Amino acid sequence: MSDKLRYGDFASAMTINQVSISYNELTPKIAVDADGNELPYVPPKLSLTPRDLFRVLEPYINVRVVEQLRSVVPLALYLALFQLLILRTGVTDAGLISGGVIAVILGLVLFMEGLKLGLMPFGESIGTVLPAKAALPVVMMVALLLGVGVTFAEPAIGALQAAGSMVTAEDAPYLWALLNPWSGTLVLSVGVGVGLAAVLGMLRFIYNWSLKPLIYLTLVPALGLLLYLLSDPELSKTIGMAWDCGAVTTGPVTVPLVLSLGIGVAAATGKGDTSLSGFGIVTLASLFPIIAVMLLVIYLASTVSPEQIIQQAAVAQAEIASAGQWYQQTPWVEAIGGFRAIVPLVLFLLFVIKVVLRESVHNAGIVTYGIVLCVVGMVIFNIGLSYGLSKLGGQSGGLVPAAFATVHGVDGSPLYGFLLGLMIAGAFAWFLGYGSTLAEPALNALGITVETLTNGAFKKSLLMNAVAFGVGCGIAAGTLRMVFDLPLAWFLIPTYLLAAVLTALSTEEFVNVAWDSAGVTTGPVTVPLVLAMGLGFGNSTAATDGFGILSMASIGPILTVLSVGLMIQLKLYRQRQAEVEEGHSNEKDRS
């Protein structure tokens, strides 16, 4: 069949089944007054049927609502069905939890839409204009402060603060202090870590630094501080929480805003044309907060004794028992938290645009609408978090040990033999990690990017399964660690040393992909669910603390992706060697 077509045939085919309408029939008739003057045309109000409205809203519903349903509903059903079928226990407060889960979905829908309409235009404008108008030190300062602001605005950071209610001062005084009276300082230190990571990431963009040395220079102090905390029995109880902080910082707010500024800097300096210009900041934003939190722990220990913290906790408990002020009660505490998370960040971004850049806010009405959606969505999400995800995760996590141990409130526990029950608990954790990771929208986007970056050598499906497998193994290992109450450092130190070795053997492309893959697996749904599950599991097994599962979920995909990357490198090397040998043999045959 010929691939050419005469234009006459094309024009003839296009006119079939077509009706020509005069433009005059589409335009309204000109109306005149008594003096013959034309009257301005006032269009009639647009009337839409319910079907028309559905057609208009359908794309939005598919993108926003269905995306959140896919990430929330399967996980909630998995936990509920596991509890009903395997643990043979009903879901307590099922109606309240269901309402909370619906609030989480609605809150995320509103928040993500507001993020797109309100906050992202700020970030894109600053990322484009700031590097061209301001000196590099000013850009770095804005990046540092932006890192602090976006951390407070992360939905998952609320889960870290909410975890404070599940920790007792008598068991872990410093951990209780960090999550309760020092919770604001804790989030601030995490934000400073993200800000410093953003600064270093931008310098890397500008000077085209390799990510490998930056990883080594970050791991050395991180592991050194870990060993120092491990030497003190009380400080060692904060290790899990400190390393979990690296997982809550790379969410839907931090990554796009900081990355847009970083890529803008790279483009302004003429260094943003490399295929890896978007990688690295997520890795650094995961590691730097860990160091910042461990330094905060050391400072706290130097100023307050465990006895003082226990006394302070007793006073706080008495205040809670007396109902406290209205702003300390739900839902007001969630509403205030939503305003505190979004409004300061918006004011800072507005200050940068109006004062530093002297630019006007384009589409101010739409931006304002988006910011309102962000605040309302954050408030609803926080309420749903308290009554839905955290409650369900804590309940399920607290009941899973009934498979192999005696748990108060579960008749007939242990439900299975110790070995079988332990396998059931490990499988529960693995499938939770594997399924929740595959449901993360950011992982699908990363898979497409990586497949393009590696010219198809690293398939999207292979990457997604490697990351999900690593997260599942990490969560399972973190869960089983609590069963035997083993120190988290025994898991973190060897796995990160192994990651350092694999990093040295891997190419720059696979190093960037592997270390960044840990950041895309911890979204606003996974973090609170896993945190609550871990704390509930730890309480039931009498573990020292229930933190550390998220940190294991972060190192798992790094190891699996680096390992798969080395296998791909070896495969490509053998292919090249075979081609070279075939070329030599052909030359010999010719001669």
Burial degree of 233 (CB within 10 A; 0-12, 13-18, 19+): exposed
* CA contacts within 13 A on the Cβ side of 152: 23
Instruction: Say if CB 158 and CB 128 are below 8 A apart.
Output: no
- Short-list 211, 299, 198, 213, CA closest to 250: 198
Residues 6+ apart with CB under 8 A from 521: 437, 440, 443, 467, 468, 471, 553, 554, 557
User: Averaged over 540-569, what is the pLDDT?
Assistant: 86
pLDDT band at 203 (very low <50, low <70, confident <90, very high): confident
More confident residue, 222 or 522: 222
pLDDT at 217: 93
- pLDDT for 490 equals 92
Residue 84 vs residues 23, 87, 420, 499: alpha-carbon distances, Å: 66, 6, 18, 39
- Report the Cα 551 to chain-centroid distance in Å: 13
Q: Which two tokens stand for residue 378?
A: 């954050």
Span 74-103, average pLDDT? 86
> What is the average pLDDT across 91-118?
86
- Mean pLDDT for 3-31 is 71
The residues with which 32 forms a beta bridge, in sequence order, are: 38
Residues 557-583, mean pLDDT to the nearest whole number: 86
Stretch 396-420: mean pLDDT: 85
What is the model's pTM?
0.81
* pLDDT score recorded for residue 18: 66
CA distances from 88 to 84, 411, 416, 423 (A): 5, 9, 12, 17
Distance CA 226, CA 291 (A): 9
What does the pLDDT read at residue 569? 84
Q: Are 153 and 111 in contact (CB under 8 A)?
A: no
Where is pLDDT greater, at 558 or 183?
A: 558
Residue 143 clears pLDDT 70, i.e. is over it: yes
CA nearest to 198, candidates 255, 238, 252, 277: 255
Q: Could you read off the pLDDT of 150-174 as tens digits, one per residue?
A: 888 777 776 776 676 677 888 889 9
Give the DSSP letter string of 342-390: HHHHHHHHHHIIIIIS----TTHHHHHHHHHHHHHHHHHHHHHIIIIIH
Residues 382, 166: Cα–Cα separation, whole Å: 17
- At residue 124, the pLDDT reads 72
> What crossing angle do the helices spanning 549-590 and 489-505 adopt, rounded to 10°?
20
| Of 89-93, 268-272, 437-441, 536-540, minimum mean pLDDT range | 268-272
Q: 38 pairs with which residues across the strands?
A: 32
Give the best-scoring range by mean pLDDT among 118-127, 200-209, 452-461, 478-487.
478-487
